[in-house]
Structure 1
């Protein structure tokens, strides 16, 4: 069994050097492997960092340049150049553990029924997290791309979860059957548009693919101080709502089995989303009265998520209702993002 580690990068040369150094320390990998870095049109010294690392890297280290801005474009360019049995994904601000690749490959070698795997993503804090940030795994952890589901493995489908892009591995045959990542989703420049992984796993699961959470497949992720502000969290949750609405426009069947194409809507928005906005607003007020900052922050972000979802759904609804209506929706979105 062979593996390629795929890293997409954009203007993080120094962090990328740390990522590559951690990969070079990988131990007991049970098969041939290599690393492929896709430079998504960086303006820093990314190309030199990769070239310098390749000179002394223990396995082949390749470099590709993708001029089209957008993480999904970079991912798809990388996938087009992978011939290994397994594609292991991580990010350019991550340090992988020495056992990371071995753990991923071992499970997939021993379990032919497992199409993809993922593991914990632990923080390297750039500053102390704010007082309202929860100490245990929960909704707000995803904002800074960390997660830890504990020491026991489980099946992703049964838990209604998916891996995150900083730490996952997929059989190349499954990628080829499902197709790549949607360019309509995923980061582009400063945008916080996302859900490209979630959309990808919608398609893999429609093929009957199943995945496993592997606790020993661990990585650590840099969380800069700039991402530990209320402002960043609000932007991130707003864009998650926008991204999720776009995802559901393409795949109306939710993880819980709800067919959104059949639910009742108001102004193009599912009625339950309007109820969620009001419910979370009420919960913010109640938590604030109790001085429960963590609960208040969580409900605030969920409210903002639902608002982003609602406005994006409205934009889709208004797209066929005249240029004036479209213009109003676009102006509101611009002001709020």
Structure 2
């Protein structure tokens, strides 16, 4: 039986559909993004649409003058599109996105990073797809790298870590358990509000200031699919991902890979339907851990034999996962229990 909060949520959305069938809230979360935001906002405010949209800039506790700059941009802009500045003092991309969700006025939410330059037809295409199929909870796009300076020799090999390309997807519905990168990704607000109503809280803070931890976008994709929604991708949704010079330094990329590994094995808790009980799930985690141990031995030997970029990354990935497992094991088993409860397994 539905609880009271779920009934209220359903009533709220029935009302909102009567008043506003189509509309997009572009949520741009930023930390010290003053130097990146102008082109991002210029592209966002120049969308060609047949429906209203808004732009919400969430200042995630920046330590520079980002907030003042956005206020100035809003004051000087000739655009008639409503641009609002919000502030989220809790550091972390997941917190900033939650602030944007709470403030959004429209049924479709687009999470746009502060270095994403949307094609002028981007939200029109996205809204058309979402309007045509109410089962779609998440809709992903195709990122085109816009390199600041010279592209390093290793970039093409590891570009999948930079939210570009299709990640091997073809347009249409994606298999269950798939995910999109969070850059320029649509979410149905109804699905996000339902998550909140059942007591869902993200296990990951995602990027936190200069900390490059990640996985919050994957987590949201998993959670929304557990509610029964579909995950789609459409290659017509295109944007440029501006990649600053410092993010193309090898040291930065190594730090990025460590941040990606830091979520291990927390996301395993969303595969709870594959296990009958907590004991069986724990055995699964330990099997994962032994695979990591084997990976450490293998990558360590490979690094000694051949000092290649790939071998270095394999070593970093496995050793980072080892540390993350020790840190996150208890939290992961607790999340398994929580997920079984809130998703009514």
Give the match for residue 308 of structure 1.
320
Deviation of 1:152 (Å): 4.3
Q: Paired residue for 1:120?
A: 142
Aligned length: 300
Give the conservation status (yes or no) of the 8 Å contact 2:264–2:324.
no
Match of 2:291 among 253, 259, 272: 272
CA shift, 1:262, in A, is 2.7
Unaligned runs of 5+ in 1: 290-295, 320-337
Q: 1:30 to 1:163 in 2, by over 3 A?
A: farther
Deviation readout 1:177-228 (Å, 9 max, x if unpaired): 1237626431112111111111112211111211111111111112122122
Alignment CA distance shift 1:303-1:114 (3 Å): same
Q: 2:283 & 2:94 partners in 1: Cα distance?
A: 30
Question: What is the aligned partner in structure 2 of residue 293 from structure 1?
Answer: none
Q: Does the Cα contact within 8 Å between 2:223 and 2:270 map onto a contact in 1? A: no
Match 1:154 to one of 172, 176, 182? 172
Counterpart in the other structure of 1:4: 25
Aligned to 1:203: 223
Alignment pair present for 1:218 and 2:238:
yes
The CA distance in 2 between the partners of 1:105 and 1:10, in whole Å, is: 27
CA contact (8 A) 1:103 1:214 kept: no
Cα distance in 2 between the residues matched to 1:115 and 1:317: 29
Shift of 1:265: 2.7
CA drift at 1:283 = 5.2
Match of 2:184 among 167, 171, 179: 167
Measure, in 2, the Cα distance between the counterparts of 1:142 and 1:106. Answer: 27
State the TM-score, normalizing by the size of structure 2.
0.78
Deviation at residue 299 of structure 1 after TM alignment: 4.3
Find the aligned partners of 1:260 and 1:214 in 2 and give their Cα distance.
35
Q: 1:181 to 1:76 in 2, by over 3 A?
A: farther
Cα deviation, residue 252, structure 1: 5.3
TM-score where L is the length of structure 1: 0.80
Contact 1:237/1:302 (8 A) holds in 2: no
In structure 2, the CA distance between the partners of 1:229 and 1:36, relative to structure 1 (3 Å rule), is: same
1:134–1:187 Cα change, 3 Å: same
Query: If each structure's helix is expressed as a fraction of its own residues, which one has the higher value?
Result: 2
Q: CA RMSD in A?
A: 2.7
CA distance in 1, matches of 2:234, 2:285: 39
Aligned residues of 1:72 and 1:181 also touching (Cα < 8 A): no
